[in-house]
Amino acid sequence: MLKMFQYRIYPTKKQQNVLDSQLEECCWLYNHLLEKRRDAYEQHDKGLSCYEQQATYTILKQERFFRAEEKALAKAQRAHSQLTKGTPERRKHRKVVARVHERTKWKRQNFTHQHSRRIVNQFGIICVEDLTVNRMLHNHCLAKSISDAAWSAFFEQLMSKAEEAGYQCLKVNPAYTSQDCSRCHHRQKMPLSERVYHCSCCLFSIDRDLNAAQNIKTLGLQSVGLSLEAPSL
Give per-residue pLDDT as tens, 92-133: 888 888 888 888 778 778 878 888 898 899 888 899 888 765
Question: What per-residue confidence (pLDDT) applies to 1?
Answer: 47
CA atoms of 150 and 111, how far apart (whole Å): 9
pLDDT at 199: 93
Please return the burial class of 197, using the count of CB atoms within 10 Å of its CB with bins 0-12, 13-18 and 19+.
buried
Strands 125-129 and 168-172: parallel
> Residue 187: its pLDDT value, please?
93
Spans in the chain with pLDDT lower than 50 = 1-5, 7, 138, 230-233
pLDDT for position 186: 94
Instruction: Report helix, strand or coil for 216.
Output: helix
- Catalytic residues, by residue number, are 45, 129, 209
Q: Would you kindly state where each structural domain of the chain is located, as residue ranges?
A: 51-124+135-169, 173-233
Phi-psi category of residue 64: left, alpha or beta, with phi > 0 → left and psi -120 to 50 → alpha: left
pTM of the model: 0.58
Element (DSSP H or E) covering residue 130: none
Which residues share a beta bridge with 164? none
Whether the Cβ atoms of residue 130 and residue 173 lie closer than 8 Å to each other? yes
CA distance 185 to 172: 16
